Amino acid sequence: MRCYDCLFEYRNFRYYVLTIINMKPISIINIILLIFCVNFSSCTEDSDNYKVEYKVYSNKKDIPIRLSSPKVIIIKDYWEYQSIGIIGGTAQIEARCDDQNVLITCEIYINGKLKSKMDGNGFSTVRTRIE
């Protein structure tokens, strides 16, 4: 009885091996592609964080400019700052100068693309939504 069980198991094993060997090459490639797609399809990372870059500059050097966003700082002719923004949020900056002859330019870049720009004499403010 025992030998018959072994023989039966051997026949089943041989059947599965021959089935795999006799498969068409195209179906084997399809199985490999299916396994690859299932394993790596969830590896893409959807991030809600965006790189936000602020730039403020003026046409005159050594004239103090007061920036408000979110804390107040005093700059001279050029200022640049990078931070992380969350989708749905806002990015804004306000620049003021006592001299009305100074042209102030404020720019906001999101992921390296210019999203908002505003010029003004003595005062400039810019605000954009992060999308």
φ, ψ (nearest 5 deg) of residue 21: -65, -35
Domain interval for residue 30: 2-43
CATH number of residue 56's parent domain: 2.60.40
**pLDDT (tens digit per residue) in 49-70:** 889 999 999 999 889 999 987 7
What does pTM read for this prediction? 0.62
pLDDT for 28 beyond 50: yes
pLDDT band at 7; cut points 50, 70, 90: very low
pLDDT for 109 beyond 90: yes
Task: Give alpha helix (H) positions in 79-122.
Answer: none
Could you tell me if 36 and 58 lie in one domain? no
φ, ψ (nearest 5 deg) of residue 29: -65, -40
Could you tell me if 76 and 123 lie in one domain? yes
Bridge partners (DSSP) listed for residue 109: 53, 114
| Predicted local distance difference test score (pLDDT) of residue 4 | 46
- For the chain, how many structural domains are there in total? 2
Could you tell me if 8 and 29 lie in one domain? yes
| Predicted local distance difference test score (pLDDT) of residue 58 | 92
104: left (phi over 0), alpha (psi -120 to 50) or beta: beta
Measured between alpha carbons, how far is 130 from 89 in angstroms, rounded to an integer? Answer: 5
pLDDT for 2 beyond 60: no
| Predicted local distance difference test score (pLDDT) of residue 40 | 60
Could you tell me if 18 and 81 lie in one domain? no
